Amino acid sequence: MKNYLPCCLCLASALLGAAITSAENAPAGEWGPATNNVQMSINLSLQPESGTTNDLRLVIRIRNTSTNQTVGMFVPDSGDRSEASFTVNFPSGRSALLTRPAQDSGHLLRIGPSQTQELAFDLRKLDDFIESGLYVIRAQHRILLGSNAFVVSSNPLKFTR
């Protein structure tokens, strides 16, 4: 029995390391960690007319994995339908939290149990993204659950310009 313990510890350590690595290098569009039964994923959307990412349109998906609670989020009435904030690591090494200016008008978008909502946002409204190289973006969005609020985060999205 004693001979199996070191092997089990090595295996557990290797599996834990693999889980951490895969979370850091999650493919685009995979769901981020669950917070109060809510998850977020982000991905870039190619514009059909150009086939490029010049507009940097980010597709944001938020899903409610609860079976009995409805959550909500504020959605501005302006053209882009997201009040998300974005942590961006630029190719130069600069890191920034990009947020939209506060919106006065909007509405509450409800996400029922086992439902997913999809929003789109043009990141170029927050920064020009002119540096060449690898960008890493994480999105955060405030979610309402009853009279409480919490923040849900995406996995990192990596892309090169």
pLDDT at 20: 28
As a whole number of angstroms, the distance between CA 66 and CA 127 comes to: 35
pLDDT digits (tens, 9 = 90+) for 82-123: 678 899 999 999 999 988 766 667 788 899 999 999 988 888
Q: If DSSP codes are grouped into helix, strand and coil, which group holds residue 18?
A: helix
* pLDDT tens column, 41-52: 999 876 555 544
Domains identified in the chain and CATH numbers: 28-160 (2.60.40.1470)
3-state secondary structure of 123: helix
Average pLDDT over residues 29-52: 81
Distances (CA, A) of 2 to 5, 6, 7, 25, 159: 6, 8, 10, 36, 47
Q: What is the pLDDT of residues 3-15, one digit of tens each?
A: 443 333 333 333 3
Cβ(75)–Cβ(144) below 8 Å: no
Residue type, 74: F
Judge contact between 53 and 44, C-beta under 8 A: yes
Question: What is the secondary structure of 46-108 as a DSSP string?
Answer: --TTT-S-TT-EEEEEEEE--SS--EEEEEESSSS----EEEEE-TTS-EEEE-PPP-S-EEE
Dist CA 161 CA 159 (whole Å): 7
